[in-house]
Structure 1
Amino acid sequence: MQHDEFELFLQEMADVKPLPQDAVLQQNGDFSPTLAQQARRKAAEQEMEYDPHYLSMEYVDLVKPDDVFAYCKDGVQQGVYRNLRLGKYQCDATLNLLGKTLQEARSLLQQFITDCHQRGVRTLLIQHGMGRNSKPHPAILRSYVFKWLPSFSEVLAAHTAQRQHGSYSATYVLLQKNAEQKRENRERHTKK
């Protein structure tokens, strides 16, 4: 039976002629990028130099409006993280992202964290809302904030806020000490 099918196939293909092949150019190994490729490469390098805290706008794992966010870098003392989680630290600066587009929120968050770190502010409150009614998916801004915060080298820990500070619609953030604060800390401990 298979032999008959094969013979039938050969009969059907008898008048088919192969396509003429194009000449294949041999590469000599001396490839140089086009001017357009060079320009794109240069632009990409400048963009990376300009944006040290690149925050991706690509794929994000969506969270629910009432998911708890908990992030802590290795080396952060458990007592410090517990106090942050319980809202025991005074929030020295607040960023309100309610009603902002993702592009605006990304830019504001980058600027806010950089400014706070340079000024020596350690405990922040980010108000991003719960996003129950956001389109096309619920909690889209909240999902991106959760994705972006761990990408900052200055962020030591973050956690969903307590009820008195906004609960699921806000997040506590703990920043590391800036260079001046580290220097002062070293001097204070070496004098003992």
Structure 2
Amino acid sequence: MSGDSKLFKDALGELGDVKPLVQERRVTLRKESEPSERILRERRAAATRLTESEMNPLSGEYIELVAPWDPIEFKRDGVQNGVYRNLRLGKYTVDARLDLHRHSVEMARSAVVEFVRDCVEADVRCALITHGKGEGRKQPALLKSCIYHWLPQLDEVLAFHSAQKQHGGMGATYLLLRKSERKRQENLERHQRRF
């Protein structure tokens, strides 16, 4: 017996009558073999929310409001200044349009993602989103502010700018979209044939 255990036993002996602690009986909980219907519904709802957020990359976080008469603009690095100027001046043919009037924010969010993807798939390079200015509303320019916040999050959008008066002015936005992979490949082949 080591010196430490002898000291321990001696110390216990001085205390007198030492008894071991009584252990309480433990109850074994039965695990549910199958989740309840409520739990299954909650799991399905969570999976649906995850799927929707994966399909729609636009964030639903706080959006800073833009004034109804302020222009909105954005240009990615690599977009030539002349191309952006032509977009801003409305010199490109608008090949597709999306009207967001009477849309809720959530409806508009889904519509914008779907519209941009459809445009790229159809090789549309310049599109127009009409969102209104929201003048005289409780929250003026709400959809306009959302568009300003959402579009830079979509990689397919190279640039955007508030439209010219004939296309809706500050209540609409021109979009310059990335070429589809098919169109890029065609351009590459056409340029290679020149050399």
TM-score range, shorter chain: 0.7 to 0.9
Q: Tell me if 1:68 matches 2:77.
A: no
Any residues of structure 2 matched to 1:144-155 within 5 Å, and which?
144-155=146-157
Give 2:143's aligned residue. 141
Shift of the alpha carbon at 1:42? 5.8
Give 1:159's aligned residue. 161
Give 1:58's aligned residue. 61
List alignment gaps of at least 5 residues for structure 2.
1-34
Contact kept in structure 2, 1:160 and 1:171, CA below 8 Å? yes
List alignment gaps of at least 5 residues for structure 1.
1-34
Output the CA distance in 2 between the equivalents of 1:58 and 1:46. 18
1:138 counterpart letter in structure 2: P
Shift of the alpha carbon at 1:47? 4.3
Shift of the alpha carbon at 1:83? 0.4
Pair 117,133 (structure 1): closer, same or farther in 2 beyond 3 Å: same
Shift of the alpha carbon at 1:134? 2.4
Contact kept in structure 2, 1:73 and 1:156, CA below 8 Å? yes
Output the CA distance in 1 between the equivalents of 2:48 and 2:95. 37
Output the CA distance in 2 between the equivalents of 1:142 and 1:48. 22
Give 1:86's aligned residue. 89
1:60-99 Cα shifts (integer Å, max 9, x gaps): 0100001111100000011100100010001000100011
Contact kept in structure 2, 1:134 and 1:140, CA below 8 Å? no
Secondary structure of 1:124 counterpart: strand
Output the CA distance in 1 between the equivalents of 2:191 and 2:87. 24
Give 2:176's aligned residue. 174
Output the CA distance in 2 between the equivalents of 1:107 and 1:47. 9
Give 1:113's aligned residue. 116
Output the CA distance in 2 between the equivalents of 1:90 and 1:189. 24
Identical pairs, percent: 46
Secondary structure of 1:191 counterpart: helix
Give 1:19's aligned residue. none
Which one of the candidate residues 80, 97, 102 is aligned to 2:105?
A: 102
1:161 counterpart letter in structure 2: A
Output the CA distance in 2 between the equivalents of 1:165 and 1:81. 17
Pair 44,166 (structure 1): closer, same or farther in 2 beyond 3 Å: closer
TM-score, normalized by length of structure 2? Answer: 0.73
RMSD: 1.9
TM-score, normalized by length of structure 1? Answer: 0.74
